[in-house]
Amino acid sequence: MTVAGGCAGKIPMERMDALLETLGAWPATLGSRADHLVPGTQRDDAALYTLSSDVTLACSTDFGTPVSQDAETWGRIAAVNAVSDIYAMGGDPFLALGILGWPPQLPHETVSRLMRGAVSALTECSVQLAGGHSIDSETPVFGLCVVGTVRPEHAMLQSNARPGYRIILTKPLGTGIVIAGQKAEVACAKAVSEAESVMLTSNRAAGRLARDTGIDAATDITGYGLVGHLRTMLLASECTATVFPAAVPLLRHAVELCEEQGIVPNSAERTYFALEERVDWSDLPVARRFALCDPQTSGGLLLAAPADRTRAFLGRCAEHGVPAVEIGEVTDDGPAGTVVMRPGSVGTGERTPG
């Protein structure tokens, strides 16, 4: 019942760039308390609104089409995906409002199962569902508006990356390829199960460990893939980056679907061509390039931190079972927002001091 699943349905990157350029800063300048606001137009994962010297609200919304054939699983994934925006800002979510578009021909029991999954996931994150809004829609859509709190000194912003910072990823990529493979009826049950397991894993632990380690530059990977969201962080920070593709964790079945079945989400292909002039792919195979552009629903956190904090964070992640890995480095070599793919492993070659 959908053209694309989950965050693969995002507005293409080039269209979003043009849209935000036409809006400029005017949404944030309306009202008398604009100085209290870090607006969503800054492209961080949530807007921040200062209530007092030690309390800041983090507000975001995220919704999309189904990513599972099971309604309860979709509800859980949608909830985990929506609260991730608050964790990516260094915050703790506490309140959510539902957003539902539902085809009238589908049974009420399916909606009930969807909501049971969402409420269950929210409860595990200590978030209260307080209501919402629903409409008739030929395409099923579900998501949440989420509110949380962030201590000002703990806020993680995309503009805080600096040359010499290490780049860290906390989940494997490839869920978008598997969702597309499921839609094409070529993804095996094990591939779907592994992808759903990744999407069902909350970023709560990773976000709190990053915050407690003093990391202050972060985003989460969603519809524009690793490369698209890294590019956004680099533009905000006026930096560049080197990425070691061999270090980037990928779902094995996703790579096989791409290489052997030719499964590539349309949004991954669009992101790849939109960033063609900003990424030096070296001799990386085309299937791996698409995997690095693959749209993720409930993807991992993308973090940037100095070397000492990176080591501390990775150590704490190992203790808590969070599969975080270092995949590259922030640099200042070239126009802001550009990425160089380097063969080999992290830790080889020249490094910028940091």
Is the confidence at residue 246, as pLDDT, over 90? yes
Render pLDDT for 299-316 as a digit per residue (tens, 0 to 9): 999 999 999 999 999 999
Q: Would you say 88 and 220 are in contact if contact means Cβ atoms under 8 Å apart?
A: yes
CA quadruple 133, 136, 139, 145: dihedral, nearest 10: 0
- Encoded amino acid at 104, one letter: P
Residue 351 pLDDT? 47
Cα dist from 310 to 185, 222, 344, whole Å: 40, 22, 20
Supply the pLDDT for residue 7: 75
Q: How far apart are CA 61 and CA 144, in angstroms?
A: 6
Q: Which residue has the higher pLDDT, 206 or 20?
A: 206
- For 329-349, the pLDDT digits (tens) are 999 999 999 999 998 877 654
pLDDT above 50 (res 88): yes
What average pLDDT does the segment 30-57 reach?
76
| DSSP helix/strand/coil, 327 | strand
Q: Residues 183-240: pLDDT tens digits? A: 999 999 999 999 999 999 999 999 999 999 999 999 999 999 999 999 999 999 999 9
Residue 352 pLDDT > 70: no
Residue 7: active-site member: yes
pTM here? 0.91
Alpha helices in 184-224 (DSSP H): 189-200, 204-213
**Residue 284: pLDDT over 90:** yes
Residue 353: per-residue pLDDT? 39
Asked if pLDDT for residue 286 goes beyond 60, the answer is: yes
Catalytic choice (7, 59, 125, 258): 7
Report d(CA 106, CA 139) in Å as an integer. Answer: 11
For residue 348, what pLDDT is reported? 52
Looking at every residue in the chain, the average pLDDT score rounds to 91
Pairing relationship of beta strands 166-169 and 325-331 according to DSSP bridges: antiparallel
